Chain A
Amino acid sequence: MNKARHSPVHSIAAHAILIAYTMIALFPVVVIVINAFKSRKAIFRAPLALPDKDSFSLIGFETVLQQGDFLLYFQNSLIVTVVSLFLVLLFGAMAAFALSEYRFRGNTLMGLYLALGIMIPIRLGTVAILQMMVASGLVNTRTALILVYTAQGLPLAIFILSEFMRQVSDDLKNAGRIDGLSEYRIFFRLVLPLVRPAMATVAVFTMIPIWNDLWFPLILAPAEETKTITLGAQVFIGQFVTNWNAVLAALSLAILPVLILYLIFSRQLIRGITSGAVK
C-alpha cells in the first residue's frame, strides 16, 4: 500500500531510537544491581563491568541484613499495601455498583463528590490528618497508613470501576432478581466476577503509589516497628551514605520485589492503561 509507512529505513530508525531510549531507561537500574554484587574495590575500579569471580561479593547484602531490619520493613509494607488494596477494591466496587446500578436522588452529585479526590491530592490535608491521628492515638500504627491509603485509592477506583460496571448486561442482573437473588448476592455473585479484569487494573494502579509512598510513612508512622520499606531504605541509605556496598545492596533489595511483581503483572497493567484510562 504505502511505502513510507513500512520502509526498512524507517523501521531501522524506529528501532534505533527505541533501543537507545530503552537503554536510558534501564541503565541506572542495571548499574545499581550489578554493582551491588561486587566488592568495594571493583565498584570503583570498573563500575560498568559485570561481577566476575574476583569481584563478586555479597558484603553489602550482609551489612544490610545485619544492620537494617529490612524483613520487618518489608512485612510492614506488605501488610499496609495488601490491606489497603483489599479495602479499596471492596469498598470501591460496592460504591461503584451503587452509582452505576441504581437511580436515586443525588446520584450524579455523589459521583462528582467521590471524583473530587482524583484531582485533589490527599497530601494537602496532611496537617489535619496528623492532628486527627494524634488525637485518636493512631500515630505510628499501620492502621493510620491503611486508612489514609484507602481514602487515597477510592476515588480513582470508583471512577474506573463504575465505567466498567455500566457495561455489565442488565438482563443478567434482572434474571438474577427474578430468581430471587438479593441485591447483595447480585453484586457479589454476578457482577464482581464479571468485572475481575477491571479490578486487576485498579489493583495495579492503587498498589504502586502505596508501596512507593514516602510522605505518609515519614509523617504518620516513622517509628522503627512501623517503617515501610520505602522509608526504611531512605533512612538506611541516609545513615550508610559512605558504605557503598550497603547502599547499593539496599537499593537492589528495594528494586527487586517491585520489579518481579511488575514483570508478572505488566501485561495486565499495560492492557489496563491502554483500554480504560483514556476516556
Chain B
Amino acid sequence: MAAEQSTRPPIRWHIAVFLAPAVLIYTAIMILPLFNTLKLALYTDAQNAQVFIGLDNFRLLFGDERWSEQFWNALGNNVWFFIIHMLVQNPIGILLAALLSSPRLRMRAFYRTAIFIPTILSFVIAGFAWKLILSPLWGVAPNLLDFVGLKGLFQPWLGKEAYALTTLALISVWQFVGIPMMLIYAALLSIPDELLEAAECDGVTGMAQFWKIKLPLVLPAIGIISILTFVGNFNAFDLIYSTQGALAGPDFSTDILGTFLYRTFFGFQLQLGDPNLGAAIATAMFLIILIGVSIYLFGIQRRLRRYQF
C-alpha cells in the first residue's frame, strides 16, 4: 500500500481540513457536554464549589422519597407514553402505507402530502391546537361528538388525571404518524414486482399476501421506526410543556422524564434549580436510551432478516 511505495506520499492535509470543522463542533458542543453532564451527576454544589460525592445524587433520586416518587412516576408515564405510540402509531402507519402503495391509487400524492402536514408543525402548535379543540369552553369536540350521537362520552380529557397522559400520547401520535407511514411506504415500494407476481402465481393474494409476503419484508423498517420512536419518546418535552406547563398537571399525571429534568435542572416557581441533580436525571435518561438502542442493535436488528433484491 502507500507505505511500500518508494516515495512515501506526504501527509494528506486536505483530509484533516475536510474533517476538522464538523469534528470540532460536534465534539465541543455535543460529545464533551454529554460526558461533562455524566460527570456533573457525580458532583454537588457546596458554597459555589463542585464537590465530588460519588453516586449520592442517584441515591437521592432513587432512594429519597421526595425525588424517587417523582422519578418513578415520570418513568412510568414515559413507558406508557411509548406503549401508546407503539400500539397506535405503528398499526395506523402500516395501514396507511399499505393503502397508499396499492397499485393504481388515484390522488396518492395528495394523501401523502396532507397526512404528513401535522409532522412538520411544532409541538407548540399541535399541542395548543388540540388543547383548544378539546377545551370544554369552546365546545368543538363536544359538538362533534354530538354530531355522531356520542356527546355523553365527552370529558375534559386534558384536565382529568386518568385521561390526560393518554390524550397527550394520542396527540403526539396524530402528529407523528406521517413518519412511520412514509418509511413503511418506501419499504413497500422497494419490494420487487416479480416477487408479488410469483406470490400471485402461487395463489397468495390480497390479505394473505400482505401478511405473508409484504409484512415480513418491511419488518426492518418497522424496527427502525420503533427505535426512533423510543429515542424520541424518552427525551420528549415540548408537547407536555406547551400544553400542561412545567408542572405537567393535573397533579403530575403527565410528567415524563423530559419535564422532570427541566423542573429539576432549571427550577420552577419556588423550587431552585439543581444542575447536578438535573445531570443525574439526564444520565438516567442517557442509560435508558443506551439500553434501548443496544437492545435494538444487538438483539433485534440482527435477527431481522434483510433481503437483497
Contacts and interface: CB of A to CB of B under 8 A. Distances in A.
Contacts of A129: 29, 33
B50 to A, nearest CB: 10
A15 B139 CA distance: 30
Contact of A259 (B34, B95, B117): B117
A264 to B, nearest CB: 11
A98 B186 contact: no
A214 B122 contact: yes
Contact of A121 (B12, B26, B35, B231): B231
Contact of A128 (B26, B32, B106, B140): B32
Interface string B100-113: 10111111001111
Interface string A258-270: 1100110010011
A278 B117 CA distance: 21
Size class of the B contact interface (CB-based, 8 Å): 35 or more
Interface in A73-117: 87, 90-92, 94-95, 97-99, 102, 104, 110, 114, 116-117
Contact of B15 (A21, A102, A151): A102
B305 to A, nearest CB: 15
A200 B227 CA distance: 25
B213 to A, nearest CB: 13
Most A-side CB within 10 Å, residue of B129, B185, B189: B129
Nearest to A122: B30
Interface stretch (B61-69, B75-83, B155-163, B275-283): B275-283
Contacts of A219: 262, 266
Nearest to B208: A4
Contacts of B28: 151
Size class of the A contact interface (CB-based, 8 Å): 35 or more
B177 to A, nearest CB: 8
A126 B266 CA distance: 11
A243 interface: no
Contact of A234 (B14, B30, B124): B124
A206 interface: no
A148 B305 CA distance: 37
Interface string B109-128: 01111111110111111101
A253 to B, nearest CB: 10
Interface in B280-301: 282-283, 285-286, 289-290, 293
B282 A124 contact: yes
A104 B278 CA distance: 40
A278 B104 contact: no
A278 B183 contact: yes
Given A18-B96, A26-B117, A212-B123, A237 B128 contact: yes
Most A-side CB within 10 Å, residue of B96, B174, B186, B261: B186
Contacts of A277: 182-183, 186
A237 B9 CA distance: 63
Given A44-B139, A110-B19, A128-B36, A263 B113 contact: yes
A122 B30 CA distance: 6
Given A25-B117, A278-B190, A270 B182 contact: yes
B56 interface: no
Given A147-B29, A248-B132, A278-B220, 7 more contacts: A4-B205, A18-B111, A22-B111, A110-B19, A120-B286, A123-B237, A131-B36
23 contacts: A5-B103, A5-B206, A6-B103, A11-B104, A25-B115, A31-B133, A47-B143, A91-B21, A122-B34, A123-B235, A124-B37, A124-B283, A125-B37, A126-B37, A128-B40, A128-B279, A129-B33, A150-B25, A151-B26, A184-B17, A215-B238, A269-B116, A278-B187
Interface of B: 12, 14-15, 17-19, 21-23, 25-26, 28-37, 40, 92, 95-96, 99-100, 102-107, 110-118, 120-126, 128-130, 132-133, 138-140, 143, 174, 177-178, 182-183, 185-187, 189-190, 197, 200, 205-206, 220-221, 224, 227, 231, 235, 237-238, 241-242, 258, 261-262, 265-266, 275, 278-279, 282-283, 285-286, 289-290, 293
